[in-house]
């Protein structure tokens, strides 16, 4: 996903842009650039590769000014190259863009027919031509932008410089995130808060269709129809250092170790264990409506999908609600049989995943009630869903999702318990006992984090293997999927998560001395049967790594490596079991020397279909 930063003020803008883009690196990119407007006009510096290359370019060929825009590009149309890098400049108009212009080929051919020539393969470049054309026709900047965007179909977050207007910065958003930062005599625009947090905490989250004209002291927001909507100013509580690594080698390791705090923050203010009470802002006052729900549909992608698979246990076991879990990208192609009696739960760390947003739209069109479980304040999904439950994990920068996963599980657990309470399906005493145990989880997670050095030693023994198999049953099956995803996405080792009962239906053919088999054998319904799976794998030379509860000696002697985790309620055990799996993937990736926080080909939030 691309990153955008813009500034208008009194300070030298180049350094602000470069530092802002560096804080957006986690979004994934393959080229970068800045444009600065000064007395000699708009000067552009851009190149393929990392921000460090762009910084060297700017140092060699300095550009001065107090108004500018910057961009990190994750290629969607046109290979990573200098000419395809943003900003794109034409006739005194420079543009940076995040999103996809679906009809750019049509618009490009119309512009060519009017004599325009293009220097890139990108969809973005047509925007500078359309805006320039409108300015040459005598329109004012905001009108020129509005008219250009009226022709555009697709998603965009934009920042625009206009040479003939050196005191304004334009911006616009549709389906791609964009925020405004309010300073003293200076204004900012950015894709995400970390880019501007060192300068201001006062932000405005733009809505789809918003057009913005900023000066050093004023902000004007209009819609396509010319209305002037009111957009509240939010105060971002994140400390800028929170979005830094805080002494850890990688954001991912920091975020793995932040999980006890993240779970604690997500619980804070939402439960009273003494009274067995659950407070869910935004949901509590809709109990009657939600009581009419007859089924649950959990929809998400990737790690968030795996959290949904855990959540299904809760809604079926505690609420006796038929529940389905579907990948967002598949959900939309099956014309699902859902309606007002369905609660659709969209799970998304970023709140900007295109597939999940589109699934949300489909659910709303079919009349479903929609609940977003999300980690980013003001993100698209939270603004389109009927209800939102914010996980308070803090910024998750590492591309591999970790603390978001555990806080999503906590969120699903609380919502399911609240539903069970409202349907009188769980006695208060039982709810109380569950909440008491839930409050112990942050402490038990810290015990799991103490396994770090043991996991590091295991990683040293297994980092060279080319394949891994993760097996689990029942509530541990989603954990097997998540453990495998973590390993494959950051270490590039092929890893598969499988329901252990499926081994005999095919995967057992894979087992030999070259196949590590990580088996989740903590207490619960599937534990005894999975012990049989361990014997089947051992008999074929499989290298067993077993994850068991403390005190479980039965399996220890049957595995090459045994990892022991504390025991909690079966339904809460995933919150502990996931930590060794995250640490194993992390340490194997570090040994293999991959880019742990920005693995190849991946972006933190996939805002394109
Ligand atoms: C997980 O480690 C991956 N980064 C990816 O699968 C991610 O979970 C998925 O893209 C969904 O993102 P979201 O939670 O922001 O919607």
| pLDDT, tens only, 284-300 | 878 888 889 999 999 99
> Residue 243 — very low, low, confident or very high, per pLDDT cuts 50/70/90?
low
Task: Please measure the distance between the N-terminal and C-terminal CA atoms of the chain and give it in whole angstroms.
Answer: 11
Residue 304 near ligand 1, beta carbon < 6 Å = yes
Of ligand 1's listed atoms, the one at least distance from the Cα of 381 is 16
* pLDDT number for residue 286: 83
* pLDDT number for residue 5: 98
Residue in 328, 353, 479 to alter for ligand 1 test, most ligand atoms within 8 A of Cβ: 353
Q: 140 C-alpha to center of ligand 1: Å?
A: 41
Phi/psi of residue 253, nearest 5 degrees: -65, -40
CA 511/CA 469 separation, integer angstroms: 9
Sequence-distant (6+) residues with CB within 8 A of 23 are 194, 195, 197, 243
β pairing state of 41-48 and 31-38: antiparallel
CA 20/CA 6 separation, integer angstroms: 9
Active site residue 604: yes
> Residue 28 — very low, low, confident or very high, per pLDDT cuts 50/70/90?
low
Residue in 349, 395, 602 to alter for ligand 1 test, most ligand atoms within 8 A of Cβ: 349
Residue 355 near ligand 1, beta carbon < 6 Å = no
% of the chain surpassing 90 pLDDT: 75
> Residue 246 — very low, low, confident or very high, per pLDDT cuts 50/70/90?
low
Active site residue 2: yes
Residue 489 near ligand 1, beta carbon < 6 Å = yes
The mean pLDDT of 462-471, rounded to a whole number, is 97
* pLDDT number for residue 375: 92
Question: Of the residues 2, 47, 319, 448, which is catalytic?
Answer: 2
> Residue 138 — very low, low, confident or very high, per pLDDT cuts 50/70/90?
very high
Strand order across the beta sheet in which 202-205 lies: 41-48, 31-38, 67-73, 3-8, 187-190, 179-182, 202-205, 233-235
* pLDDT number for residue 79: 74
* pLDDT number for residue 106: 93
Phi/psi of residue 516, nearest 5 degrees: -65, 135
As separate numbers, helices (DSSP H) first and strands (DSSP E) second, the chain gives: 18, 26
Name which of 171, 205, 575, 132 is nearest 388 in CA terms: 205
User: What is the DSSP code string of 481-505?
Assistant: HHHHHHHHHHH--EEEEEEGGGGGG
The answer to whether the CB of 96 falls within 8 A of the CB of 86 is yes
Of ligand 1's listed atoms, the one at least distance from the Cα of 404 is 14
CA 44/CA 358 separation, integer angstroms: 35
| Largest CA-CA distance found in the chain, in angstroms, rounded | 81
CA 392/CA 168 separation, integer angstroms: 36
Ranked by mean pLDDT, which of 33-42, 503-512, 519-528 comes out on top?
A: 33-42
Ranked by mean pLDDT, which of 25-29, 190-194, 422-426 comes out on top?
A: 422-426
Res. 116: pLDDT tops 90: yes
Tens of pLDDT, residue by residue over 519-530, are 999 998 888 888
Question: Of the residues 89, 108, 486, 604, which is catalytic?
Answer: 604
Res. 339: pLDDT tops 90: yes
The mean pLDDT of 444-457, rounded to a whole number, is 98
Residue 302 near ligand 1, beta carbon < 6 Å = yes
Q: pTM to 2 decimals?
A: 0.73
β pairing state of 88-90 and 179-182: unpaired
Which spans in 423-514 are helix H? 428-449, 452-462, 477-491
The answer to whether the CB of 163 falls within 8 A of the CB of 90 is no
Tens of pLDDT, residue by residue over 586-604, are 999 999 999 999 999 888 8
Res. 80: pLDDT tops 90: no
Q: Which residue minimizes the CA distance to atom 9 of ligand 1?
A: 302
3-state SS of 257-319 is HCHHHHHHHHHCCCEECCCCEECCCCCHHHHHHHHCCCEEEEEECHHHHHHHHHHHHHHHHCC
The answer to whether the CB of 191 falls within 8 A of the CB of 158 is no
Q: How is residue 427 annotated by DSSP?
A: -
Name which of 302, 374, 353, 391 is nearest 605 in CA terms: 353
Burial (Cβ within 10 Å: 0-12, 13-18, ≥19) of residue 72:
buried
Residue 598 near ligand 1, beta carbon < 6 Å = no
Residue 599 near ligand 1, beta carbon < 6 Å = no
Mean pLDDT is lowest, of 14-18, 311-315, 533-537, 562-566, for 533-537
The answer to whether the CB of 482 falls within 8 A of the CB of 303 is yes
The answer to whether the CB of 347 falls within 8 A of the CB of 300 is yes
CA-CA-CA-CA torsion for 150, 151, 155, 156, nearest 10 degrees? -70
Q: Please tell me which residue, 276 or 193, carries the higher pLDDT value.
A: 193
Mean pLDDT over the full length of the chain: 93
Q: 489 C-alpha to center of ligand 1: Å?
A: 11
CA 243/CA 258 separation, integer angstroms: 12
């Amino acid at each position: 996903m691309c990153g955008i930063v813009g500034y208008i003020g009194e300070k030298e803008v180049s350094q602000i842009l470069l530092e802002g883009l560096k804080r957006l690196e986690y979004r994934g990119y393959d080229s970068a650039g800045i444009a600065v407007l000064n007395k000699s006009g708009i000067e552009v510096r851009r190149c393929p590769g990392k921000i460090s290359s762009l910084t060297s370019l700017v140092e060699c060929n300095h550009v001065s000014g107090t108004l500018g825009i910057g961009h990190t590009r994750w290629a969607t149309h046109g290979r990573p190259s200098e000419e395809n890098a943003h900003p794109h400049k034409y006739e005194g108009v420079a543009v940076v863009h995040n999103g996809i212009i679906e009809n750019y080929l049509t618009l490009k051919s119309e512009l060519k027919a009017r004599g325009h020539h293009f220097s890139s393969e990108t969809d973005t470049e047509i925007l500078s031509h359309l805006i320039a054309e409108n300015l040459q026709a005598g329109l004012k900047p905001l009108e020129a932008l509005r008219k250009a965007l009226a022709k555009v179909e697709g998603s965009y977050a934009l920042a625009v410089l206009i040479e003939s207007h050196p005191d304004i910065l334009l911006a616009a958003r549709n389906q791609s995130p964009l925020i405004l930062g309010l300073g003293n005599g200076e204004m900012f625009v950015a894709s995400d808060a970390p880019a501007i947090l060192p300068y201001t905490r006062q932000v405005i989250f733009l809505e789809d269709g918003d057009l913005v004209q900023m000066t050093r002291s004023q902000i004007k927001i209009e819609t396509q129809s010319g209305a002037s909507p009111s957009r509240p100013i939010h105060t971002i509580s994140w400390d800028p250092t929170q979005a830094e690594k805080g002494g850890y080698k990688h954001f991912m390791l920091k975020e793995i170790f932040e999980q006890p705090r993240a779970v604690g923050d997500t619980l804070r203010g939402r439960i009273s264990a003494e009274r067995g009470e659950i407070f869910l802002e935004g949901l509590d006052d809709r109990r009657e409506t939600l009581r009419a729900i007859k089924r649950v549909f959990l929809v998400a992608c990737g790690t968030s999908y795996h959290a949904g698979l855990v959540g299904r246990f809760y809604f079926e076991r505690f609420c006796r609600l038929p529940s389905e879990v579907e990948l967002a990208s598949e959900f939309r192609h099956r014309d699902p049989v859902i309606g007002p009696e369905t609660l659709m739960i969209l799970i998304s760390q970023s709140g900007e995943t295109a597939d999940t947003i589109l699934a949300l739209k489909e659910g709303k069109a079919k009349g479903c009630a929609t609940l977003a479980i999300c980690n980013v304040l003001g993100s698209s999904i939270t603004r389109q869903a009927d209800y939102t439950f914010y996980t308070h994990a803090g910024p998750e920068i590492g591309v591999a999702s970790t603390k978001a996963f555990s806080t999503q599980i906590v969120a699903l657990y609380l919502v399911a318990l609240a539903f069970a309470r409202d349907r009188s399906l769980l006695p208060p005493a039982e709810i109380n006992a569950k909440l008491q145990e839930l409050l112990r989880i942050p402490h038990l997670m810290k015990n799991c984090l103490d396994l770090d050095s043991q996991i590091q030693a295991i990683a040293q023994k297994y980092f060279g293997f080319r394949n891994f198999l993760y097996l689990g049953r029942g509530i541990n099956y989603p954990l097997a999927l998540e453990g495998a995803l973590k390993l494959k996405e950051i270490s590039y080792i092929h890893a598969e998560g499988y329901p252990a009962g499926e081994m005999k239906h095919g995967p057992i053919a894979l087992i030999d001395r070259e196949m590590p088999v990580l088996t989740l054998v903590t207490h619960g319904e599937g534990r005894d049967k999975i012990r049989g799976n361990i014997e089947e794998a051992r008999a074929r030379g499989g290298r067993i790594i077993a994850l068991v509860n403390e005190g479980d000696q039965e399996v220890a002697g049957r595995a090459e490596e045994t990892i022991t985790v504390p025991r909690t309620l079966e339904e809460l055990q995933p919150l502990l079991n996931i930590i060794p799996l995250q640490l194993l993937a992390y340490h194997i990736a570090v040994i293999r020397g991959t880019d742990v926080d920005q693995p190849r080909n991946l972006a933190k939030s996939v805002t394109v279909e």
